[in-house]
């Protein structure tokens, strides 16, 4: 038995036990296939993948992507402290600190401040190949954060805007030779300029339905074009201060350590995880008789896209076509590539995206000096088998 064969047999066995089809996903979860169309199997799915994830986490099976919006019950989801319990009737968003008018707003108060839609997709900064399942795209309904902040009358001295979730946990906080165990909320901050920019959004609905607990009900922050961690769920308080916020998930966990050549010397620099780096990946391959159709996803910070190319095995880069249904600035973009008459056997497929500034998705080799695993946006190969 070859390695590959045994891996596939094991995968099959495990899936049968879980009551799933050979593809590892319930039949109803698959997008409709055209008549005569079949899904081409990926052969690089790690044995360790658990499609049946714990109830508060979920990866998106990217093979099910068939349109611009991810349904709420498939939307990728994760967090650090589990789900908090919030009574929506008693819920108030507090705005405190360096403001003339501290606020305590119910969801209805917020809705009266205006209701607009924003299409935004994001990925967790830990998302990576081959599965790339920690990303999704949605149509959010809510209000511009700036409207809320303007009504609180922000003090001129305000510099740092801290967003706290209702979720919390015990953390060890070190000071000099002392260690304290403190119960702290999940918090993330934005500087004044970013917090006051008009696209920052407070959302109470996804795809036309109230947020579920998984997505941060009743209210979450959306920082369009930034990695998932910025989008604070179960948002309960905005505290405005002068000093930099130094919570664990602000200044320690969501950092990238990467070597850069500066004046001929390698310097290891640490940067904050903020806007999404330019990424594309192949999500799904289908076959209709001879030809195959490859569908993929582009995520970035909203900079317009110039092109996506696809490479089959050692062939040349070939242009893919952008899907006209995904044109929103901060939404993910889908692309398609017609792979005509692929030979039976194993193949490697990879995509790369270029934006209008000329920036191109890096190769894995170009990211070699990145020591921490977040912000992994390199070209992401997939392996398939044509029957």
Ligand X SMILES: Nc1nc2c(c(=O)[nH]1)N[C@H]1C(S)=C(S)[C@@H](COP(=O)(O)O)O[C@H]1N2
What residue ranges bind ligand X (CB under 6 A)?
76-81, 124, 165, 167, 186, 214-215, 228-229, 231-234
Which does residue 215 touch among Mo ion, ligand X, none (CB within 5 to 8 A, set by kind)?
ligand X
Residue 374 interacting entry, from ligand X, Mo ion, none, C-beta within 5 to 8 Å by type: none
Least distance (Å) from ligand X to the CB of residue 229? Answer: 4
Q: Which does 167 bind (CB under 5 to 8 A by kind): ligand X, Mo ion, none?
A: ligand X
* Region of 199-207, 225-233, 298-306, 323-331 interacting with Mo ion (CB under 5 A): 225-233
Residue closer to ligand X, measured from CB, 77 or 277? 77
Cis, peptide link before residue 218, omega less than 30° from 0: yes
Q: Distance between CA 136 and CA 330 in Å, rounded?
A: 12
d(CA 217, CA 149): 21
Q: How far is the CB of 126 from Mo ion (least distance, A)?
A: 6
In whole angstroms, give the CA distance from residue 201 to residue 223: 7
Q: Which residues are CB-contacts of 265 (< 8 A; sequence separation ≥ 6)?
A: none
Q: Which residues of 26-53 are buried (b: 16+ CB within 10 A; e: fewer)?
A: eeebbeeeeeeeebbbbbebeeeeebee
Nearer to Mo ion, 110 or 134 (CB): 134
d(CA 218, CA 236): 9
Nearer to ligand X, 59 or 285 (CB): 59
Tokens coding 100 = 């003339």
Q: Among the candidate windows 101-109, 124-132, 298-306, 329-337, which touches Mo ion by CB under 5 A?
A: 124-132
The distance of closest approach from Cβ of residue 33 to ligand X in the complex, given in angstroms and rounded to an integer, is 27
Tell me the residue nearest to Mo ion as measured from the CB: 124
Q: Which residue number, 55 or 208, has a Cβ lying nearer to Mo ion? A: 55
- 229 near Mo ion (CB under 5 A): yes
Please give the biggest Cα pair distance in the chain: 72
Contact pick of 72, 103, 120, 124 for Mo ion (by CB under 5 A): 124
Q: Which does 234 bind (CB under 5 to 8 A by kind): ligand X, Mo ion, none?
A: ligand X
189 binds, among ligand X, Mo ion, none (CB under 5 to 8 A by kind): none
Q: Which of 29, 70, 59, 28 has the alpha carbon at shortest distance from 207?
A: 70
Q: Least separation, in Å, of the C-beta of 81 and ligand X? A: 6
Pairing of strands 235-241, 93-97: parallel
Cα dist. 32→64, 65, 67, 85, 325 in Å?
Answer: 9, 11, 11, 37, 17
Is the peptide bond between 129 and the residue preceding it cis, with omega within 30 degrees of 0? no
* 299 binds Mo ion per the rule CB under 5 A: no
Using CB under 5 A as the binding rule, whether residue 282 contacts Mo ion is answered as: no
Q: Which is nearer to Mo ion, 130 or 228 (CB)?
A: 228
Instruction: Summarize as ranges the residues that interact with Mo ion (CB under 5 A).
Output: 124, 228-229
């Amino acid at each position: 038995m070859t390695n590959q064969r045994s891996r596939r047999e094991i995968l099959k066995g495990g899936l049968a036990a879980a009551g799933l089809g050979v593809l590892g996903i319930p039949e109803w979860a698959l997008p409709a296939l055209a008549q005569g169309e079949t899904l081409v199997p990926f052969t690089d799915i790690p044995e360790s993948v658990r499609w049946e994830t714990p109830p508060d986490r979920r990866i998106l099976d990217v093979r099910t992507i068939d349109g611009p919006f991810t349904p709420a019950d498939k939307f990728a989801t994760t967090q650090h402290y589990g789900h908090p319990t919030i009574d929506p009737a008693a819920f108030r968003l507090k705005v405190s600190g360096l403001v003339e008018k501290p606020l305590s707003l119910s969801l209805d108060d917020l809705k009266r401040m205006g209701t607009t839609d924003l299409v935004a997709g994001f990925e967790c900064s830990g998302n990576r190949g081959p599965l790339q399942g920690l990303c999704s795209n949605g149509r959010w309904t809510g209000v511009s954060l700036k409207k809320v902040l303007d009504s609180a009358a922000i003090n001129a001295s305000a510099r740092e805007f801290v967003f706290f979730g209702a979720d919390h946990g015990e953390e060890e906080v070190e000071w000099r030779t002392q260690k304290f165990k403190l119960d702290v909320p999940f918090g993330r901050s934005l500087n004044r300029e970013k917090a006051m920019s008009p696209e920052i959004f407070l959302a109470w609905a996804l795809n036309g339905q109230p947020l579920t607990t998984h997505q941060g009900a009743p209210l979450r922050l959306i920082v369009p074009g930034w990695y998932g961690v910025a989008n604070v769920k179960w948002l309960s308080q905005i505290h405005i201060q002068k000093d930099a916020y130094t919570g664990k998930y602000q200044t320690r966990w969501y950092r990238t350590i990467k070597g850069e050549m500066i004046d001929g010397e390698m310097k290891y620099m640490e940067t904050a995880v903020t806007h999404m780096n330019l990424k594309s990946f192949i999500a799904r391959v289908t076959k209709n008789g001879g030809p195959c159709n490859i569908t993929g996803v582009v995520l970035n910070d909203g900079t317009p896209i110039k092109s996506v190319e696809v490479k089959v095995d050692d062939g040349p880069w070939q242009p893919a076509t952008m899907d006209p249904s995904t044109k929103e600035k901060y939404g993910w973009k889908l692309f398609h590539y017609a792979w005509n008459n692929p030979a039976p056997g194993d193949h490697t497929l990879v995509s790369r995206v270029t934006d209008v500034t000329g920036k191109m998705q890096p190769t894995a080799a170009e990211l070699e000096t990145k020591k921490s695993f977040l912000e992994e946006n390199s070209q992401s190969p997939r392996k398939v088998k044509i029957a």
